[in-house]
């Protein structure tokens, strides 16, 4: 340890030394057996009248223990430190933002029971394959809205996703770029590397160019889960009109975002493939760096606990004479 590095992490706690010292001084004076006689007998005479205590009297008086406990306790709370340690939050961590398109097109039934309902199910399946992943949820139509900020609880993501419907969205339209920008902003604020999964049935042709223009070095990868069937699938009667799968346009958008395209399947092979690609993206993300000062106050607390044991011996109580 070098004195140049020694400091207190929470120095404001040291202010308690003043009232603690005053209180210990008051207790010390009250425990003086000659305190009452000093007010009526001259000090020079009292010295000869007082009977000295026996030599076998314990030197470890309770007030000494109390003083030591308060001193070391206050120093522990102040957080003495002189060396750094790796932060526990610098392990490889990554976050995931799921963006869900919520428009009337997503009510099409070319994918049973509908594109939107199947998309909700796929979100739950995906999070089950990525346990412990910090995940957020964004819904968009003509505008993008944060439904759930980053959380490690997949159940709450699934709950809020199940409640999304086109009639709840405040603005009609199709604006995936705003949703991606919102996800990027939230990931940047969290300080975590991460990826974005866009679940949509289609995107505009201009989305790829706009996404490429707004992407920067280190931007999170944007994966797309295409939630639409091909033109060979005939929707059942009564299904809302919606464009069929345009795999080429969606693939261009995914590449512009640094990710890749996965097309929905009847089984779970789509989310398994998507989870593998997301995990590879997480692994390629640079780990967080950082150190923090090691708080040595915890070691002083052990000493305080040992000193407290002294109060449980015979005569260990601190008595304040009135």
Question: Is residue 320 in a domain?
Answer: no
User: Taking CA 116 as the corner, what is the angle to CA 111 and CA 117, rounded to the nearest 5 degrees?
Assistant: 80
User: Taking CA 239 as the corner, what is the angle to CA 144 and CA 196, rounded to the nearest 5 degrees?
Assistant: 30
Question: Is residue 183 in a domain?
Answer: yes
Same domain, 212 and 278: yes
Predicted pLDDT of residue 19: 87
Predicted pLDDT of residue 38: 60
Predicted pLDDT of residue 56: 45
Same domain, 253 and 105: yes
Mean pLDDT to the nearest integer, 50-61: 52
Same domain, 146 and 241: yes
Q: What is the CA radius of gyration of the chain?
A: 34
Cα separation of 31 and 53, whole Å?
14
| Of 24-33, 129-138, 148-157, 284-293, the least confident | 284-293
Same domain, 250 and 110: yes
Same domain, 189 and 46: no
Of residues 204, 252, 199, 197, the one with CA closest to residue 222? 197
- pLDDT band at residue 313 under the 50/70/90 scheme: low
Same domain, 82 and 94: no
Check residues 216 and 198 and name the one with the higher pLDDT. 198
Same domain, 49 and 124: no
- pLDDT band at residue 284 under the 50/70/90 scheme: low
For 74-117, what is each residue's pLDDT tens digit? Answer: 888 888 888 866 555 444 468 999 999 999 999 999 999 999 99
Same domain, 112 and 252: yes
- pLDDT band at residue 304 under the 50/70/90 scheme: confident
- pLDDT band at residue 42 under the 50/70/90 scheme: low
Predicted pLDDT of residue 92: 45
For 216-275, what is each residue's pLDDT tens digit? Answer: 777 899 999 999 999 999 999 999 989 999 999 999 999 999 999 999 999 999 999 999
- Secondary structure (3-state) at 139: strand
Same domain, 104 and 224: yes
Task: State the CB neighbour count (10 A cutoff) for residue 9.
Answer: 16
163 is in which domain, residue-wise?
90-284
C-beta separation of 259 from 296 below 8 A: no
Question: Is residue 318 in a domain?
Answer: no
| Cis amide prior to 113 (ω within 30 degrees) | yes
DSSP string for residues in 18-53:
HHHHHHHHHHHHHT-TTHHHHTTS-HHHHHHHSPPP
Question: Is residue 322 in a domain?
Answer: no
- Secondary structure (3-state) at 166: helix
Same domain, 17 and 64: yes
Residue-averaged pLDDT of the chain:
84
What's the domain count of the chain? Answer: 2
Same domain, 270 and 304: no
Check residues 307 and 252 and name the one with the higher pLDDT. 252
Same domain, 270 and 164: yes
């Amino acid at each position: 340890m070098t004195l140049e590095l020694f400091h207190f992490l929470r120095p404001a706690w040291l202010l308690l030394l003043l009232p603690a010292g005053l209180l210990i001084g008051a207790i010390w004076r009250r425990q003086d057996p000659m305190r009452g006689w000093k007010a009526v007998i001259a000090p020079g005479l009292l010295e000869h009248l007082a009977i000295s205590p026996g030599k076998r009297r314990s030197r470890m008086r309770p007030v000494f223990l109390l003083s030591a406990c308060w001193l070391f306790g206050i120093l522990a709370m102040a957080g003495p430190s002189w060396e750094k340690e790796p932060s526990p939050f610098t392990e490889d961590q990554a976050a995931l933002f799921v963006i869900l398109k919520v428009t009337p097109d997503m009510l099409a039934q070319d994918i049973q029971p509908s594109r939107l309902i199947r998309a909700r199910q796929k979100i739950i399946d995906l999070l089950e394959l990525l346990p412990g992943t910090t995940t957020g949820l964004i819904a968009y139509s003509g505008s993008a809205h944060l439904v759930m900020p980053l959380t490690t609880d997949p159940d709450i993501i699934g709950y809020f996703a199940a409640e999304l419907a086109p009639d709840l969205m405040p603005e009609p339209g199709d604006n995936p770029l705003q949703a991606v920008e919102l996800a990027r902003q939230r990931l940047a604020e969290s300080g975590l590397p991460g990826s974005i999964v866009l679940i949509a049935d289609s995107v505009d042709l201009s989305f790829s160019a706009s996404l490429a223009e707004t992407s920067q070095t280190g931007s999170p990868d944007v994966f797309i889960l295409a939630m639409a069937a091909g033109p060979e699938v005939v929707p059942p009667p009564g299904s809302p009109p919606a464009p069929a799968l345009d795999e080429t346009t969606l693939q261009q958008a995914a590449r512009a975002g640094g990710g890749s395209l996965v097309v929905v399947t009847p089984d779970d092979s789509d989310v398994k493939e998507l989870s593998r690609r997301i995990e590879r993206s997480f692994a390629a993300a640079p780990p967080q760096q950082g150190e923090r000062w090691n708080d040595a106050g915890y070691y002083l607390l052990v000493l305080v606990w040992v000193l407290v044991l002294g109060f449980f011996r015979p005569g260990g109580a601190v008595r304040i004479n009135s």
